[in-house]
Structure 1
Amino acid sequence: MRLDPDASGLRAALDDGPAAATILQRILDHLPILAAALPAADVELGRVDILTPTHRVLNGGTPSRLPDYPGVTLHELFRLQAWRTPDAPALVSDAVTVTYRELDHASSVLSRRLTNEVSPGDVVGVCSERSVELFVAIIAILKAGAAFVFLDPDVPAARLSQFVEVSRPRLVLVGPGSSGIPTTAPTTSLPSISGLLTAEPVAAPDVLVGPHSPAYVLFTSGSTGVPKAVLRSHRLHTSRVFLEQSIYGLGSEDRHLLKLPLSSRELFWPLATGGACVLVPPGAERDDQELLRIMRVHRVSVLSIVPSMLRVLAASTAFATLPALRHVFVGGETLHSDLESRVRSFGYEVHTTFTLTEADYVTHRSGPAPSSDGEVSNIGRPLDMRVYVCDDHGRRVPPGVTGEVWTGGPGLAEGYLHEPARTAERFVPNPFDDPQVPVLFRSGDLAQIRADGSFDYLGRRDLQVKIRGQRVEPTEVEHWIRSHPGVDNAAVVGYADLEQGAVLVAFVARTDDTTTERELREHLAEQVPGWMIPRHFTFVPRLPQMPNGKVDRVALRLPERERPGDLPPPTRPDDPRQTTLVGLWRRVLQLEQIGVDDDFFELGGDSLRLLLLRAAIQDELGVTIDAVHLLAATTVRAQAGLWGAAPAGSTHGVERARPSREDAARERDRRAALRRAHLDNDDERSLR
């Protein structure tokens, strides 16, 4: 379109094309609003709000009235369910089953002990590997009126020290898998479940806690090298329980896979509705075959997972034949259409949610995504959150225009712990005159609204990326790379990756040529979790700069995958088995030069790609290799020996793959028929 001034004003010339009529109509729709605003406007023309009434409904006006949820706490919902179904299983593992009555009793005993040392509103740390005792402690802390912070024993000690420093716990409970907690706060050992169950019954503490009281602290990456601590309230999660239960009506027959200590869907939802939480043993969350075994044996019906791990599971034919799985909830990364279609073809329901650390369940989609051009991700529409898409001036934009997501409502966090200035910067007063939602979170995420009211996610306005569902600030990774004495400067860039959302690439200017990629990886491993270590390191003489002196990140391009320069020349395969494996390595690592004595991780592999390699081996060779054995055999030569010495059908390291693709196809047809029958006889169930 061209605009030319003439004696009567502006003359618009619109090129003829398939979208010409639509564009012209949109201009005509907005012109009267602009004309009416001009006489009274005391602002620049570019700041005038010209949304039509229809656009105002789509952008921030849906739903028109937000739900008013009951004002209860998370532990109150659990106690009500324990009263209804005391003998039903609440926590289930291969080794033990804990009923609702037992979980209520054990958590009340521990909460009474905690009240001798903590007060309502205090933060209590829990450092333990995943166990029944960990989840007893979480409920006990809530019953004591405190907020819990999970101190992951698997993260590096330096990172754990930051968690403690930022959250300032009054007390730290220490369980299995933890050692040397860096804190000046008092510490005490987690009591065993058997010891708590044999204690005399006691009433839960009578403490003053409400829906807006803090429930727990959740960490996310910070751009300054220090993680941010997000404070989440009881209301944030009880509202999610009521919302999802009103949609899906789950109950006592459902089994939820429990992989995370901080999850509304995996822990609090089932414990409020009579379901059972099936505990994943420590480390098994990274083992696709073990996850499939657990879901099969314990008849898991509800799975929450990030797309990168779902892709690994879906690569196995065993995933299509799970006997009880019905619901697959996906979030944390972009859900690509090929993966979604594949999982739906197995007869499973797929639900995707757009969730932030600071705001939960912002949008939701259950049905298939609408068709779109390019690799955009449709994240559905808001159900009980107010969601706006705004330009740089804070004005709402029309459908089809990219803007930043601002959101508020019952799923909004309380802010950043001990950081009022940062909270005020990101949690802002609602400028759109909605008394239901007085505060909005400026997310930094970019989106467009479709004409049907659904949202397309388009990435970030800053450098932040998500890797395996974890939010990462590349500038924080840069901070730790620069702390190495052999580094002069560094820039870290996130690039889209089909398998795990994004990958990090580090561009490093060294002080001299002696610093190696291996040294930098080892240095980072002492400071940050594995998902924050870049996949690739590229050494450059200097980082490109813009005229203002800042790093020109646009000039940093994803390097061609090359063999690390500090490795010896690749050794050729000796036999057909090794040759086949080298080909599979090339496919998974996207690297051509691979030798039989190269280490998988030194070539840029990671734990997720190791699982993808195992899936490729199963498809190509018809064998299944235990993850623990594959992890111990990180060269082609070692992997070729895994099944070369094992007899067919052996369960030591290697066994023949069980379900065939024909079995999977038959199971898909059976599940589709069952699903149709379930829909025909669906009864409405409420929160029990």
Structure 2
Amino acid sequence: MTPTMASSPAVPELREAFVFPASYAQRRLWFLHQFESASPVYNIPSPIRLGFTLNVEALRKSLDELVRRHESLRTTFTAVDGEPMQVVAPSRQVTLDLTDLRSMPAAQRESEAQRLAAFDAQRPFSLSEGPLLRVSLVTLAEADHVLLVTMHHIVSDGWSMGVFLRELGALYNAFSAGWPSPLPEPRLQYADYSHWQRELLRGDVYTRHLEYWRTQLAGAPPRLELPTDRVRPLMQAHRGAGHLVTLDADLHDGLRALGQRAGATPFMVMLAAFDVLLYRTTGQEDLVVGTPIANRGRPELEGLIGFFVNTLVLRTQLSGALGFQDVLARVREVTLGAYAHQDIPFEKLVEELQPERNLGSNPLFQVMFSFQSAERPQGGASPGGPEAPRVPTTTSKFDLTLSVAEAPRGGAFALFEYDTELFEAETVTRMGSHFLALLHAIVRAPAQPISRLPLLGDEERRRLLVEWNDTTVSREEPGFLHRVIVAQAARTPEAVALMAGLERVTYRELVSRANQLARFLGRHGVGPEVRVGVCMERSPELLVALLGILQAGGAYVPLDPEYPSDRLAFMLEDSAPAVLITQARLAPTLPVSRARVLRVDTEWAEVACEQDSDPALPVHPGQLAYVIYTSGSTGRPKGAMNTHAGIANRLAWMRQTYRLDARDRMLHKTPTSFDVSITELFWPLMTGATVVIARPGGHRDPGYLIDLMAAERVTAAHFVPSMLRVLLEHRGVERCEALRQVIISGEAVTPDLEARFHARFRAELHNLYGPTEAAVEVSAWTCPPSGSGGRVPIGKPIHNTRLFILDATLEPVPVGLPGELFIGGIGVGRGYLGRPELTAERFIPDPFSTEPGQRLYRTGDRARFRADGNIDFLGRLDDQEKIRGFRIELGEVEAALRSHPRVRHAAVMAREVTPGDKRLVAYVVAGPGEDLPGELRRHLSRTLPEHMVPTAFVALDALPLLPNGKLDRRALPIPGEFDTATRTAYVAPRGAVEEKLAHVFAELLGRARVGVHDNFFELGGHSLLATRVVSRIHDTYRVEVPLRRLFETPTVEALAKVVEEQGSTPVASAIPRLERDTELADVAHLSDAEVSAMLEELAARGELAK
């Protein structure tokens, strides 16, 4: 339904002109065509079945008359200085292609007609050569034909197709009977509308409409984060498919009745339901959806053929507590407001609002919704016959489009058109099922909170909760990791357990020393639940200390000697260890504490007096094994407590799954303050393998690590993905030929890293996932050499572990949809030391367990199930990030920044410099002073570890805020240290090509000067200005630079290299135009009024076709 534009002036008739500017909507499609001229994505196919004996000549005559009546059907497009112009041919006959299938067997004709219809729909048009209307007649029998009518969207739309078919029927009936045309001459043409639209968008009317949209879309999310099956490509290919869902008459009637009670149209009801589906699919409460509107509010436009349709941007803000009736009321309000301000073309809206642009998605919205009522069929009545062949959906303009069409006899059809570069067919099929389930739930309980409307069937619910969590494994061996190592030492006492430089420690020596230390610690009060601090550099003594603490029944608390003194002081006070084990060279630097300090190197003689026999102290599975501190959002770290049962289960699973033996050597390089060190130290010692210990600080030196792994023939290692990426790029990594197993965890793994690894090594690559709060890792995926696809999953739960993906109401989300990942099972830790409130918040009662006391750990991570039960990691729910594998609460860094006396406000973001390379950026509002970045770095280094100190500091006058007062993170600038395209320092052009391009950029952008590193689009360039840049390059250098190259290389420096690579030849002057075109050469620079005046003058002189 199109509201009438009562306040708009009538559309005046213009003098017919040969050339005139393209409309705003046409400019957008012309621009898109420059990217993909061979794409059929904007074809409008309409096959018509004709069930009668056909008069072909009357059909030809009818088509010719249609083209005569409507200028749009004889329009092509050209560019003047990069600006698209419409060119109307004085006349044009339609070429009617004839295909006769009557010689084929009758059984094959239908499928052949279907094939021809699909083929015709895919044939691209040439906008410059035309025609942009294509008609073919396929004859199946004497009284059975299919008329294939295909137009390009740039000259037509859905309404226009209805006009075309109605007029075709009327003309054919008249001409076949020998009568003249019964249709009155159209008073207006598309050119009149185009000019009227330009004039309408001037002054107060335009300003009023624009202000509405600025307010309505302020702070809107740049993208609807649909859970895609593949990583979004850099550029849309517009390949698509469709999935059709049928709404039966009862369901459809129930929805209509619901809308009538609320004073809402069926369009509004279905849009509101679609919004709820998107909310449940993405978890986003702020939704932006596009919808087409016929844009023919004035009666004089109703009978024209042309590209009139406009796109409205409908933003709805929801919450899970709202009932569907409340959502419907909001959608109704938003829709009516958009109708009232529909006169601004979508293209002008994009140009004015300057949303974030990229070639991989549509600006402002990526999801479209359309609705077709049964009362007014879009295509009009065809000249008769049985059903026409269906044209399969093979393109998609957006990520997802839902088109709902009411059926004339009741019920409705919902077509999900989707981008096959993003979604698998199974995903959209499930989405259709969820939509149907949601619609039934809405009819049954329209007042129920939308977060609780069911999407799952019983079978899918059981699969998610039970079948995919069937991981129970019973173990006969001792459930304590130190006992397993003692047992291994008894089997292979003289095997080398530890290697550190030239030092070798056998299993017997390791266990003997650990036993002595255990007895020593026991005499100093260490036993069950007693914590022992360990602040040591990597060395064999470190392993002795950890094993000795566990043998004594205590729990170790690792303290990184590289941490700032203030942080170590807090951790010592918070954990209150009975004993602090360290080394003589570190002891003077440690904060004062109440712990008994043992310098394990210089005071070992006292320990050596103890017996070296196994103390064999009893240990309970739920007993505390270690406490590891992680970043805290309040500005102070929190100690995660883990039990013997949890870590023993984790290592027993690893021992069984990734087998090591006495021939293997495992690299130990991770500081013990990170739980991955447990894997590096204890996994190999449970199997008889050897631990190769890297020197202190060596974990930061990729060259040293490569040398060490190569020299010591290391066969197994762990890396965070960012470090693995550095190693793979390092010369000499191929010398690590003994590697056969590599574990990666701590960050998301990208497909390109997976591919690079397999290109370098024959080793296995295992992607593990897990938080410190749940015994290191809880899921695993083995990366196949052939690749994991568009996203590398984190796999399935390990033994005795359950993984749930839940929504905000703790209900399981359907397969493929994102939710928060929760962990259950034996690996879940005891909580945070001395933080009962935080423990209660993050460790919640398990609603799916029948065992009393079972808990789930809420990770704060977004994830989703794949159809096969593997899990995709989708990022953090909150401001927590992982940098180089280290988990960081951004709030802790912000709190540390704000503690500086000069800092008034602070915000921290993790920005991705290159794929897989994230860095912290601090934005501060600070008082006057010099060298603020250096001062802040020094300040933070006193309280935060190195990986939590931002790489870049940006001083701002104020933090950007949204209308609701929240921080507008999108508006925080990219610092110059990261992106040369946004450097503020001006760099002058350094050659003739750069000078010319800088001049072109500056002229088109209205700037005094442009440097070689300035980004065209960040300086205000947009798509149509980009076409003018390309046009100037062609005119100057006689080289064809594809439009997409400017998007890929948007700086003067980068674009100059493209021009130079193609071999530039400066042109003295442009090729002269014919006299009639000369005055059109600079039309793109003229105002709309000047263009109109110029065209009228040329027409008056007889230089334009009438």
What is aligned with 1:358?
773
- Which of 457, 464, 470 in structure 2 is aligned with 1:64? 470
Residue 338 (str. 1) matches residue 760 (str. 2): no
- Which of 504, 512, 519 in structure 2 is aligned with 1:105? 512
Cα distance in structure 2, aligned partners of 1:545 and 1:215 = 46
Cα distance in structure 1, aligned partners of 2:891 and 2:438 = 43
Cα distance in structure 2, aligned partners of 1:148 and 1:447 = 32
Cα distance in structure 2, aligned partners of 1:316 and 1:25 = 44
Q: Secondary structure, in 3 states, of the residue corresponding to 1:422? A: helix
Change (3 A) 1:395 1:563: closer
Deviation, 1:502, is 2.2
**One-letter amino acid of the counterpart of residue 165, structure 1:** E
Per-residue displacement from partner, 1:90-145 (whole Å, max 9, x unpaired)? Answer: 11111211101111111111111111112321111011111111111111111111
- The percentage of aligned residue pairs carrying the same residue is 36
**One-letter amino acid of the counterpart of residue 78, structure 1:** I
What is aligned with 2:560?
152
**One-letter amino acid of the counterpart of residue 14, structure 1:** A
Cα distance in structure 2, aligned partners of 1:541 and 1:114 = 56
Residue 291 (str. 1) matches residue 705 (str. 2): yes
Q: Secondary structure, in 3 states, of the residue corresponding to 1:378? A: coil
Structure 1 residues 425-434 or 549-558, which shifts more? 549-558
Deviation, 1:153, is 0.8
Change (3 A) 1:570 1:102: farther
Kept in 2, the 8 Å contact 1:109–1:196? The answer is no
Change (3 A) 1:514 1:45: closer
Kept in 1, the 8 Å contact 2:434–2:455? The answer is no
What is aligned with 2:414?
14
Per-residue displacement from partner, 1:301-343 (whole Å, max 9, x unpaired)? Answer: 1011111111111113422232321001000011111111111
Residue 474 (str. 1) matches residue 890 (str. 2): yes
Cα distance in structure 1, aligned partners of 2:884 and 2:831 = 24
Residue 484 (str. 1) matches residue 900 (str. 2): yes
Deviation, 1:379, is 1.4
Cα distance in structure 1, aligned partners of 2:908 and 2:516 = 48
Cα distance in structure 1, aligned partners of 2:809 and 2:667 = 43
Change (3 A) 1:85 1:512: same
- Which of 178, 183, 190 in structure 1 is aligned with 2:600? 190
Kept in 1, the 8 Å contact 2:780–2:798? The answer is yes
Per-residue displacement from partner, 1:234-280 (whole Å, max 9, x unpaired)? Answer: 12221122111222221111110011334232111111111111110
Deviation, 1:231, is 0.6
Per-residue displacement from partner, 1:13-48 (whole Å, max 9, x unpaired)? Answer: 423636889746654478579969998999645414
Cα distance in structure 2, aligned partners of 1:172 and 1:213 = 20
Change (3 A) 1:313 1:383: same
Structure 1 residues 536-545 or 363-372, which shifts more? 363-372
- Which of 694, 698, 717 in structure 2 is aligned with 1:280? 694
Cα distance in structure 2, aligned partners of 1:66 and 1:513 = 61
Cα distance in structure 1, aligned partners of 2:960 and 2:945 = 28
Change (3 A) 1:52 1:180: same
Kept in 1, the 8 Å contact 2:479–2:649? The answer is no
Kept in 2, the 8 Å contact 1:446–1:457? The answer is yes
Structure 2 residues without counterparts, runs of 5 or longer = 1-244, 257-410, 419-423, 988-1011, 1014-1106
Deviation, 1:177, is 4.5
What is aligned with 1:51?
456
Residue 448 (str. 1) matches residue 864 (str. 2): yes
Per-residue displacement from partner, 1:39-84 (whole Å, max 9, x unpaired)? Answer: 8999645414442344335533313242233552121111111111
- TM-score normalised according to structure 1 size: 0.76
Kept in 1, the 8 Å contact 2:471–2:797? The answer is no
- Which of 489, 497, 504 in structure 2 is aligned with 1:82? 489
- Which of 387, 411, 426 in structure 1 is aligned with 2:827? 411
- Which of 362, 366, 380 in structure 1 is aligned with 2:795? 380
- Which of 560, 563, 572 in structure 2 is aligned with 1:164? 572
**One-letter amino acid of the counterpart of residue 683, structure 2:** W
Change (3 A) 1:562 1:53: closer
Cα distance in structure 2, aligned partners of 1:21 and 1:300 = 43
- Matching of residues 379-398 of structure 1 within 5 Å: 379-384=794-799, 385-398=801-814
**One-letter amino acid of the counterpart of residue 457, structure 2:** T
Cα distance in structure 2, aligned partners of 1:408 and 1:72 = 18
Change (3 A) 1:439 1:95: same
Cα distance in structure 2, aligned partners of 1:305 and 1:562 = 25
Kept in 2, the 8 Å contact 1:102–1:197? The answer is no
- TM-score normalised according to structure 2 size: 0.48
Residue 137 (str. 1) matches residue 537 (str. 2): no
Cα distance in structure 2, aligned partners of 1:341 and 1:563 = 26
Deviation, 1:509, is 0.2
Cα distance in structure 2, aligned partners of 1:524 and 1:194 = 36
Structure 1 residues 399-408 or 313-322, which shifts more? 313-322
Change (3 A) 1:335 1:9: closer
Change (3 A) 1:400 1:500: closer
Pairwise CA RMSD: 3.4
What is aligned with 1:683?
none
Kept in 2, the 8 Å contact 1:467–1:500? The answer is no
**One-letter amino acid of the counterpart of residue 51, structure 1:** L
Per-residue displacement from partner, 1:362-396 (whole Å, max 9, x unpaired)? Answer: 221113386555xx442122232211111112111
**One-letter amino acid of the counterpart of residue 405, structure 1:** L
Change (3 A) 1:499 1:209: farther
Change (3 A) 1:34 1:508: same
Name which structure has the greater RCO, CA cutoff 8 Å, separation 6+: 1
How many equivalent residue pairs? 571
- Matching of residues 324-335 of structure 1 within 5 Å: 324-335=738-749
- Matching of residues 580-591 of structure 1 within 5 Å: none
Deviation, 1:548, is 4.8
Kept in 1, the 8 Å contact 2:713–2:739? The answer is yes
Higher gyration radius (CA): 2
Cα distance in structure 2, aligned partners of 1:516 and 1:367 = 45
Cα distance in structure 1, aligned partners of 2:465 and 2:699 = 38
Cα distance in structure 1, aligned partners of 2:570 and 2:916 = 26
Residue 558 (str. 1) matches residue 971 (str. 2): no
Change (3 A) 1:186 1:58: same
Per-residue displacement from partner, 1:397-430 (whole Å, max 9, x unpaired)? Answer: 1111111101112222221111111111101111
Q: Secondary structure, in 3 states, of the residue corresponding to 2:493? A: coil
Kept in 2, the 8 Å contact 1:92–1:278? The answer is yes
What is aligned with 1:460?
876
Deviation, 1:498, is 4.3
What is aligned with 1:503?
919
What is aligned with 1:118?
525
